Amino acid sequence: MPVLFLGHGSPMNAIEENVFVKGFRDVGKRLQKPKAILCISAHWETYGTKVTAMEMPKTIHDFGGFPPALYEVQYPAPGCPDLARMTKELLQDCELDQHWGLDHGAWSVIKHMYPDADVPVVQMSLNRYKTPAEHIALAKELEALRKRGVLIVGSGNMVHNLRMVAWDRLNDSFGFDWAQEANARMKAMIVSNDLEGLANYSKGGKAFQNAIPTPEHYLPMLYSTALRGEDENISFFNDSYLAGALSMTSILIGG
């Protein structure tokens, strides 16, 4: 199976019709239907690595201040305990979780790819103890899942700084200079498979400091890019900005 990184942006993408939603929908149509999805979302951070192992994960509305219609959305995709156990075996230092479910980093984008909720979804957490390089090493251990029909999806945003969002320009597809610089440099490293450079983002200067004030939205991209095979195709979509300080850039690897 290919690998995806999805720039998920606002939870409102779950119920709005826009160019980003069309991008998610289109990529879903392009891919062979997976047996299951393993999603690494920016919105599940834990101490230690966990994977959801329940039969029917709940839809988590992990946000506030949005219209009532958004809280009414349910995405009743089944879980996949077999995939959870398989992931645990591959990673060894991993715990099966029966409590989390699907947060909006997962369901708000996957629902557009598979609107019938007929593909099982398992989430894997971001281990707060690990460095970026250790996250990359952990990602490489998931390679065997691709050969078993599992679509691995990282969900976050390469540039994500809510403190610097231009709230008066929420509908504008522009990026501040630093956001454009950081996003372009990230894309260049992704294309050249410079995983060391991506891991050492904290040394990237002011543009990277602004783009990645905290790592949780950036790390899922590392998982996706670390799984790129030798000579495997890579393409970008939804490659634009939102309100100055967010990039919606998404990545398809393989396929």
| DSSP one-letter string for 25-56 | HHHHHHSPPPSEEEEEEEEEEESS-EEE--SS
Q: By residue range, what is the domain housing residue 52?
A: 3-253
Count the helix, strand and coil residues of the chain and give each as a percent rounded to the nearest 5.
40, 20, 40
Tokens of 165: 């969002």
User: Which residues, other chains included, contact 165 with Cβ-Cβ below 8 Å and sequence gap of 6+?
Assistant: 243, 244, 245, 246
Tell me: pLDDT of 255 over 90. no
pTM comes to: 0.97
Tell me: pLDDT of 130 over 80. yes
Tell me: pLDDT of 151 over 90. yes
pLDDT score of 154? 98
CATH of the domain at 36: 3.40.830.10
- Mean pLDDT rounded to a whole number for the chain: 97
Structurally, the chain folds into a number of domains equal to 1
pLDDT score of 118? 98
pLDDT band at 171 (very low <50, low <70, confident <90, very high): confident
Tell me: pLDDT of 26 over 80. yes
pLDDT score of 168? 82
Tell me: pLDDT of 100 over 80. yes
